[in-house]
Chain A
Amino acid sequence: MDHQGAAELFSDYVDGELAGPGKAELESHLSVCIQCRTDLAEFRQALGGLGQLKHAPAPAGFLPQIQRQIFERSRGRFFGKRWKLFGRIPFEWVSLVMIVAMLVYYIVQLRGAPTGVQLAP
């Protein structure tokens, strides 16, 4: 096994995925090759450094900022301010009530209007 061939096996070896003759051959090479031992040590240090990177939690105010973005992009359809008692303004219901009110007003006006046509003297 040469240096290149040994280096190709480092990931599998460190992950514990290398077994059987491949592992034995690599370990045999490592026992006599100081360069590959050094490379492997550096390889392990690199992985150790990556493993030490801490999880970065989302910053404070992350959710409200997303909500604001969706609110703006949906032109107020989502994540709008809610009325304390009635929730969002129900435009559909407001429209329906207006139509019914106008209909009732029209009927009342119609009934209150003078019936029959009087000819002018």
Chain B
Amino acid sequence: MGRRNRAGRLRFGQRVPFEMSAAERLLIARLKERDELAFNEVVRAHGDKVFSLVYRMIGNRAEAEDLAQEVFVTVFKTVDTFRSESKFSTWLLRIAANHCKNRIKYLSRRRTDGGGLDDMPEDKMADAGRAPMQAHIDAPDVLLEAAELERLMQQAIGELDEEHRLLIVLRDVEELSYEEIGEVAGLPEGTIKSRLHRARMAIKDYLAKRTR
């Protein structure tokens, strides 16, 4: 087992050979036989993680609920394609990530007036005279209420394109290791690091603009 840092992540560059537990192997085998109880176990075990990822990626609760359900329907349909070369949870997140990217592209094409996030777009809020974080804020982590901070962070994430958004959510929100992110996103570590840095800088710039 590789050494872990304070956040429990594997240190960069350390690889741990993947071994599936007997219980997980059995669960997958039952799932491949379309065992409904096994599927229920999978949803109970991974539902929160998948929903959280989808919600942070999409930013809209109703949309996220619909999409997370779609992820598990896909899992039920395509579990035969799982080859046990990665962790089942990673495979699951990869499906979720692909669904999210497709949905983000679709939503950005559609770009309706309802807004992508749970709330109105910020320019509309400003027009409505209730832009809460524009004027009097010096530092987001000090002065904003938790809910407003969450909204602001979610808006900042929503400004990123789907690839950068995925990396930010996987690394800085879900706290996956670079190795796990590589398996989910299908990217080499170097690419992940450089894109993640660009995404973080974009978020920093967005927040700096909004909080000054």
Contact = CB atoms under 8 A, between A and B. Distances in A.
A115 interface: no
Interface in B162-181: 168, 172-174
Interface stretch (A62-70, A92-100, A101-109): A62-70
B5 A8 contact: no
* Interface size grouping (class) on chain B: 35 or more
B48 A63 contact: no
Interface string A56-76: 111100110111011001000
Highest count of chain A CB atoms <10 Å: which of B65, B154, B174, B204: B204
A56 B62 CA distance: 13
A73 B34 CA distance: 14
A63 B40 contact: yes
Instruction: Give the interface SS of chain B, mostly helix, strand, loop or mixed.
Output: helix
A43 B36 CA distance: 46
Given A45-B139, A62-B65, A78-B34, A56 B200 contact: no
B54 to A, nearest CB: 9
Nearest to A43: B204
Interface in A36-91: 39, 42-43, 45-59, 62-63, 65-67, 69-70, 73, 78-79
Contact of B141 (A11, A39, A45): A45
Nearest to B154: A53
Given A17-B12, A66-B43, A50 B150 contact: no
A48 B204 CA distance: 11
B100 to A, nearest CB: 14
Instruction: Give the interface SS of chain A, mostly helix, strand, loop or mixed.
Output: helix
Interface stretch (B16-24, B67-75, B91-99, B124-132): B67-75
Interface string B101-112: 000000000000
B141 A48 contact: yes
Contact of B196 (A11, A39, A52): A11
A78 B203 CA distance: 44
Interface string A3-22: 00001101110011100000
A50 B65 contact: no
A66 to B, nearest CB: 5
Nearest to A63: B43
B146 interface: yes
A57 B48 CA distance: 5
B129 to A, nearest CB: 25
9 smallest CB-CB distances across A and B, nearest first, come from A58-B51, A50-B172, A11-B197, A46-B204, A58-B47, A56-B55, A55-B52, A56-B52, A49-B153
